[in-house]
């Protein structure tokens, strides 16, 4: 009765451009709202297993991509890392770091997340196969609205940690 049409055929190019424009506006509005948030609004999650948190966050990020992304975790700790953390803020920061790596290298991105430290502190390091950020730019990255290598970068990714 009804003609069948593949979804790809039914979406016109200008529809895709309109959707992309709307997504870009939503992203910009989200960034603006996050900048207005005050530290007292953040909620601390107690006794979070960092290894499980990292695995779950990385898996969520990988699911958001339409290609197979190589991200591995190296745990150099001899204990289970537990911490009180700002869960949503840390997850957002990790997503930003991973997204920056993928933006720089694309489908060929290889990311290694390493946990190291002692009984008191746990350090999470991110490394990738990208070209890196020049030293003269690195010192500026913790300042608001500083971006490197992205045409429309907001400069919020590293600022979260400052």
Digit-coded pLDDT (tens) for 143-157: 655 666 666 665 555
Top-confidence residue, 45 or 15: 45
Residue-wise pLDDT tens digits, 80-97: 989 898 888 888 889 988
The pair of structure tokens assigned to 66 is 């339409």
CA separation, residue 147 to residues 56, 150, 159 (Å): 27, 7, 10
Determine the pLDDT at residue 55.
95
Quick one: average pLDDT of 117-145?
Answer: 81
Band of residue 41 on the pLDDT scale cut at 50, 70, 90: low
SS3 (DSSP) at 126: strand
- Across 36-65, average pLDDT: 84
């Amino acid at each position: 009765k009804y003609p069948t049409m593949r979804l790809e055929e039914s979406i016109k190019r200008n529809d895709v451009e309109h959707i992309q424009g709307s997504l870009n506006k939503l992203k910009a509005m989200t960034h603006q709202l996050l900048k207005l948030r005050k530290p007292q609004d953040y909620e601390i999650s107690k006794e979070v297993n960092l290894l499980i948190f990292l695995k779950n966050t990385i898996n969520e990020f990988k699911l958001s991509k339409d290609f197979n992304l190589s991200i591995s975790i190296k745990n150099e700790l001899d204990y289970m890392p537990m911490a009180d953390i700002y869960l949503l803020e840390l997850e957002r920061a990790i997503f930003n770091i991973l997204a920056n790596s993928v933006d720089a290298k694309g489908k060929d991105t290889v990311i290694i997340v390493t946990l190291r430290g002692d009984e008191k502190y746990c350090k999470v390091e991110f490394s990738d196969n990208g070209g890196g950020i020049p030293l003269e730019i690195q010192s500026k990255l913790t300042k608001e609205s500083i971006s490197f290598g992205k045409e429309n970068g907001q400069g919020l990714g590293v600022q979260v940690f400052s």
